[in-house]
Structure 1
Amino acid sequence: MANYVLVPGACHGGWWYEQIAAELRAAGHSAHPVTLSGLGPGESAAGINLDTHIDDVVRLLESEDLRDVVLCGHSYAGMVITGVADRAPERIATLLHVDAFAPEDGESVWSLTDDYWHEWYAGGAGADGFAFAPLPVLDERAVPHPLATITQQIRLTGAHRQVPRREYVYCSAFENSPFTATYERLKDDPNWHVRALPIGHNIVREAFDDFRKILLDAA
């Protein structure tokens, strides 16, 4: 049995993984979809930054005493799972970045993206200055996302490199993808298992069966 911890991207909660989590449980595994701080219905984004989200997941690993974890992060959550792996590498068997950031020390979502994405982050935060609104194309359950998680630089000791297996899935049909540079950097790195799928960013919607197989094979 494997322990899956599933961290969603910006503006999303654990609900994004509901169906895939059910499939993993049906296969005999434990699955823990995460709703990060400030991303539950009606929650405030004030005071929430990247460290808050990393702490959320580390607390889950510790409180449930989860080990041999397949830690999956989609999109923004690549920042989170990298930070978690740096703080608790001994609990993680596989890091799975799904069309996601894979930062180095001192980088942020802001530094890894261009003006196209900055317009959404900064322009979308005009209502209260704490969070940017979800894009209209996102699921109706999507909520505003804490802006400080985008601007805060990640601090890494290098311990995340102790995780035995690191995988990257690149969705090559995602228009204006901020992950192309990450894919190009990692695809020939022997420390990473990298694959590309000819789909858009929402792998749950566009390639559910492929995603399920990728997760099961990661155990």
Structure 2
Amino acid sequence: MTTYVLIAGACHGGWYYESITAQLRAQGHQVHAPTLSADGNLKEHVEQVLALLDGLDDVVLAGHSYGGMVITGAADRVPEKIKSLVYVDALVPRDGQSAWDLVHGFWRDWYIDGVAADGRGVAPMPFFDQRAFAHPIASLLQRPRLTGAVDRITNRWYLYCERTEESPFTRFRDAFRDDPTWQVRSLDVGHDFLDGGAEEFLDVLAKAGA
């Protein structure tokens, strides 16, 4: 049995992984897919995941998009609890790099235009799931303080979604594909990777937990 913790991207909650969690649990695995606070900053989101990790060990920790910021921060704090890291079209920060620092173009426009209504929460895109909610801008601007302990985890996977428009994630695919501590896959899907990529994601999760 493997323990999985799955972190969704901006504006999404644990419900994003419903089809995945159902299949993993049916196989006998322990799965957690928390919904992060809609008014927290990055530090608070990391602390929410750390609280969940308390009492867990040998965890496969996965994050999509903004979720990469969160899993990196959590793994840097408790690398001894993490069996493997799985990033799916996700941001992978170094010390002092915010989500804002790592994106460009369309993504920055979305952050700024999306927060115009109240200055606090970035509104979901019109095509997002109806359950999507505004994402706190503070979490996208806050720069993490990382010690580098996350690099002690050498079972790391990066799933790159080839159809993501104006992708800020290409830099990570290119940086990691020749690094022996990373295994990189390209998926022929868009940023909403579960639309067409669920089976490949499950395959990677199984390998990461083996």
User: 1:86 and 2:76 equivalent?
Assistant: yes
Letter in 2 for 1:200: G
Q: Secondary structure at the match of 2:56?
A: coil
Does structure 2 conserve the Cα–Cα contact (< 8 Å) formed by 1:95 and 1:166? yes
User: 1:194 and 2:184 equivalent?
Assistant: yes
| Equivalent in the alignment of 2:129 | 139
Structure 1: which 5+ residue stretches go unaligned?
Answer: 39-44
Alignment of 1:123-202 (within 5 A): 123-202=113-192
| Equivalent in the alignment of 2:4 | 4
CA distance in 1, matches of 2:103, 2:73: 19
Q: Tell me which moved more, 189-198 or 86-95.
A: 189-198
Does structure 1 conserve the Cα–Cα contact (< 8 Å) formed by 2:161 and 2:186? yes
Displacement of 1:164: 3.6
User: 1:108 and 2:98 equivalent?
Assistant: yes
CA distance in 2, matches of 1:142, 1:108: 22
| Equivalent in the alignment of 2:36 | 36
| Equivalent in the alignment of 2:194 | 204
CA distance in 1, matches of 2:105, 2:138: 17
Q: Percent identity?
A: 50
User: 1:215 and 2:208 equivalent?
Assistant: no
Q: Secondary structure at the match of 2:86?
A: strand
Displacement of 1:106: 0.8
| Equivalent in the alignment of 1:56 | 48
Q: Secondary structure at the match of 1:129?
A: coil
CA distance in 2, matches of 1:117, 1:203: 17
TM-score by length of 1: 0.93
| Equivalent in the alignment of 1:41 | none
Aligned length: 209
**CA RMSD of the aligned region, Å?**
0.9
Displacement of 1:23: 0.4
Does structure 1 conserve the Cα–Cα contact (< 8 Å) formed by 2:7 and 2:64? yes
CA distance in 2, matches of 1:18, 1:143: 17
User: 1:69 and 2:51 equivalent?
Assistant: no
Does structure 2 conserve the Cα–Cα contact (< 8 Å) formed by 1:24 and 1:216? no
Does structure 1 conserve the Cα–Cα contact (< 8 Å) formed by 2:88 and 2:158? yes
